């Protein structure tokens, strides 16, 4: 009974529950920046590139380059995630994925403390950085690639699984369809919550996303322990 209970409250890096929590955060942050920061998507860099191109064509140079900043922040986040994965740092931090969750929580909590007078670009850059950390570190659910900060890839995977299940009668695709459907719905739920709470609470509503990440942090690899156990020397 004890081991079964332990299994229920522990999340591995490719657990569906962890994927759901991160998808909620992904949808929440996109809605948060769109509502509170002049329609900028902190997660969806494709949208920012399109808007940048439109502003360039219209010769709105001052606005155009603002849309490049979250793209650069996203790139830096990917590089940081890769650096933390290196063998030397992994020995220090014990679990680099847990370290990424801690860093995400700290950044989002700090953003919530910033005054409203802070330029939008500062907040968007911070959230783009968080988004890139998350997408670079947590990119699998079960054995399938997924994206916790956008839905395009997940919609494709769910559609392919539905075809395999209902047309080709492949019963192995049932779990994939279920998992991706839950993640897509979770992203939508996060976007709804992000819109609602940003409108009625304001900038500090980002602390709700930080709280969800903190829950994921507490549950993630709980069974492994939070500190590296010392290696006993054999005499």
Residue 161: per-residue pLDDT: 97
- Residue 41 to residues 49, 52, 57, 132, 185, Cα–Cα distance (Å): 10, 12, 20, 13, 19
Residue 9: per-residue pLDDT: 52
Residue 232: per-residue pLDDT: 53
Per-domain residue ranges of the chain: 16-220
Residue 88: per-residue pLDDT: 74
Q: What is the DSSP string of 147-207?
A: -SS-SHHHHHHHHHHHHHHHTS--TTHHHHHHHHHHHHHHHHHHHHHHHHHHHHH-GGGHH
**pTM of structure:** 0.86
Residue 56: per-residue pLDDT: 92
Query: Of 131, 107, 114, which is closest to residue 214 (Cα–Cα)?
Result: 107
Residue 6: per-residue pLDDT: 46
Residue 62: per-residue pLDDT: 83
**H or E stretch covering 43:** none
Residue 228: per-residue pLDDT: 53
Residue 167: per-residue pLDDT: 95
- The CATH number assigned to the domain with range 16-220 reads 1.20.1250
Residue 221: per-residue pLDDT: 62
Per-10-residue mean pLDDT of the chain, 235 residues long, equals 48 87 95 82 78 90 84 92 80 79 95 90 91 92 92 94 96 95 97 96 95 92 53 49
- Residue 12 to residues 46, 99, 174, Cα–Cα distance (Å): 30, 14, 21
Residue 160: per-residue pLDDT: 96
């Amino acid at each position: 009974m004890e081991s079964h209970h332990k299994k229920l409250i522990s999340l591995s890096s490719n657990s569906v529950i962890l994927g759901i929590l991160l998808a909620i955060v992904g949808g929440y942050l996109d809605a948060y920046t769109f509502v509170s920061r002049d329609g900028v998507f902190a997660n969806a860099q494709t949208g920012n590139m399109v808007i940048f191109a439109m502003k360039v064509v219209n010769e709105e140079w001052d606005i155009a380059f603002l849309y490049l900043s979250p793209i650069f922040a996203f790139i830096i986040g990917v590089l940081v995630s890769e650096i933390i994965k290196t063998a030397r740092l992994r020995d220090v931090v014990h679990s680099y994925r847990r370290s990424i969750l801690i860093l995400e929580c700290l950044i989002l909590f700090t953003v919530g403390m910033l005054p409203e007078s802070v330029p939008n670009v500062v907040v968007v850059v911070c959230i783009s950085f968080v988004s890139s950390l998350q997408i670079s570190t947590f990119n699998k659910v079960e054995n399938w690639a997924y994206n916790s900060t956008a839905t395009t890839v997940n919609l494709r995977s769910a559609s392919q699984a539905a075809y395999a299940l209902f047309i080709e009668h492949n019963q192995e695709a049932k779990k994939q369809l279920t998992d991706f459907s839950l993640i897509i719905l979770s992203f939508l739920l996060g976007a709804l919550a992000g819109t609602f709470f940003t409108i009625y609470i304001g900038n500090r509503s980002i602390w709700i996303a930080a709280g969800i990440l903190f829950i994921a942090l507490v549950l993630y690899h709980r069974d492994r322990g939070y500190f590296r156990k010392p290696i006993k020397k054999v005499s």
